Amino acid sequence: MKWLIPAPKVIKPIDVKTKIMLRASWVSAVGNVLLSALKLAVGFITGSLAVIGDGIDSATDVLVSVVMVYTAGIVSRPPDSKHVYGYEKAEGIASKILSFVIFYAGMQMLVSSIQSTFASHTRSIPEIWAIYVTVISIFGKLALSFFQFREGKRINSQMLIANAKNMRSDVLISVGVLVGLFFTFVLNKPVLDSITGIIISLFILKTSVSIFLDSNAELMDSVADTAVYDFVFDAVDATEGACNPHRVRIRTKGGMYLISLDIEADGNCSLYEAHKIASQTEENIRQRLENVYDIRIHVEPAGTVHTDEKFGVERKRV
């Protein structure tokens, strides 16, 4: 049996997935509230712009967590007459919203840091407490990032994984703050704190763009890795009586695959035999691909020619 890419983990039932998303979102919210309050308080007391900026970034993570909690409730809704495919795509929309929130926070910090760098007034060196709180932030964000990524992989949640990436960048941001504070104390140059703030803001902006691009695949009805099509072609090859898979269309919804394709069979076979071939093809696809939400197969007589066919892909076009 041919395997081209590793199959993702099996999606949990919707109620279990919702519970995991809610729990991870609340852990993220509480953790970021504590870290944000600590960093903002110490940043204002010590006069460190870099620490204040790091605290603002953690405050945006609180808003991110609130959006995640709300989204988890939407995802859990069952399909209805208006949303026959369910509400799982709310994850992709939430990821887009999170990217805009993070981008706004990064721009705000970038502007304030640039203004501070070129300000004419004399700045004092931040107090040593700024270093202590930054070390605490690094370990706190590492723990939150690991937890979010583990839970996101567990249920194949695009939203949780995006939040984990955001927090992973936060760790780098806090490390940058720590380095900036270190050189500020060693070299006695308070302006380095503002320069560090600029670097941090650029990291925040980069993270927002990354999350925005990662969410495009689902919202644009595409797949991140086109090698997934080879699983479908292999499944048709393994089905007796089926041939020439074409107009194959795969998209994702809530981390699960929706697959449509046409296959050819003997034009003289009975309806019962054609149905059996289609059913076996579907079973072969599910054996090769996990996290399949739905499969639709259209059976055509062998040799059928479509002159104006433009949707989907064929083996030679992948």
Map out the domains of the chain as residue ranges.
14-219, 228-317
SS3 of the chain = CCCCCCCCCCCCCHHHHHHHHHHHHHHHHHHHHHHHHHHHHHHHHHCCHHHHHHHHHHHHHHHHHHHHHHHHHHHCCCCCCCCCCCCCCHHHHHHHHHHHHHHHHHHHHHHHHHHHHCCCCCCCCCCCHHHHHHHHHHHHHHHHHHHHHHHHHHHCCHHHHHHHHHHHHHHHHHHHHHHHHHHHHHHCCCHHHHHHHHHHHHHHHHHHHHHHHHCHHHHCCCCCCCCHHHHHHHHHHCCCCCEEEEEEEEEEECCEEEEEEEEEECCCCCHHHHHHHHHHHHHHHHHHCCCEEEEEEEEEECCCCCCCCCCCECHHHC
Task: Kindly report whether the global pTM for this prediction surpasses the value 0.95.
Answer: no
Report the top-level CATH class of 228-317. Answer: alpha beta
Query: Which of the following CATH numbers is that of domain 14-219: 1.20.1510.10, 2.170.150.70, 3.40.50.300, 2.120.10.30?
Result: 1.20.1510.10
* Residue-wise pLDDT tens digits, 94-143: 878 878 877 887 787 788 778 777 765 545 555 667 777 878 888 888 88
Domain 14-219 and domain 228-317, same fold? Reply is no
The model's pLDDT over 133-172, given as tens digits with 9 standing for 90+, comes to 878 888 888 888 898 888 888 877 777 887 887 787 777 7
pLDDT in tens, 73-96: 787 788 888 888 788 788 778 878
